[in-house]
Chain A
């Protein structure tokens, strides 16, 4: 069988290494902001670690906002019609 890099990371220990590496990267990015003088368009950018904080908060807002949206506007798949595309399986015969 061909080498599959994704299967290589199936093992929990290897995945942990990957995650740990990512956390270190985040830490490095966070700390590097101390030492870099950035060219800015707006004053707000000069806030320490503006991009890190903004990215983190905005992502969270998107997640919670979208959950609220689903709560308000979520409907079953057959809402528009019994045979709407939302509700049907892909007809595979002609293409498969």
Chain B
């Protein structure tokens, strides 16, 4: 589903050229559950943004469902994001003036789907996330765990294939953090490809495939290790 070939992303910081991603190769199959860990500045977030088509590579190619994305314009990227990708952020990124329901509905509105067709889709997501009695609340009336559930609802309402979560539990206490990660895993069980960027070893260990990043490279990939350990 996803293939990165020699992907580079470099920033100019003063005179220095910083390689946030350094000739990265990565393949992700449909339905996988990956965690990406590594120290700050190792390129985790850049990788996530790259996979989410929010950032453009300096060199290399990113294939999403057999589509080469590096030469696509902003419009085409937006369409791909809308069709295939859902985001969950550490700080939720809910729109404060909209209710929980309206926040979840937003991607459907932006996609120009008619109100009649939106209603059942949103209802289904709200029921699925057990937010029925919170649907008409504004984000500031919700707990952190509830806010993140609303954000997840917004991420999955368009039925994306890929769900990208950037420190989804970073702002949550352990109980609601656990609920959120379990929810994401349930979605993965239902078939969505899940990639979680985290600092938390416990959460990273839950993934079936763990990536460790250092200095813009993948230092270890549990998938390859398994293969190489079998090989040795």
Do they bind each other? Answer: no
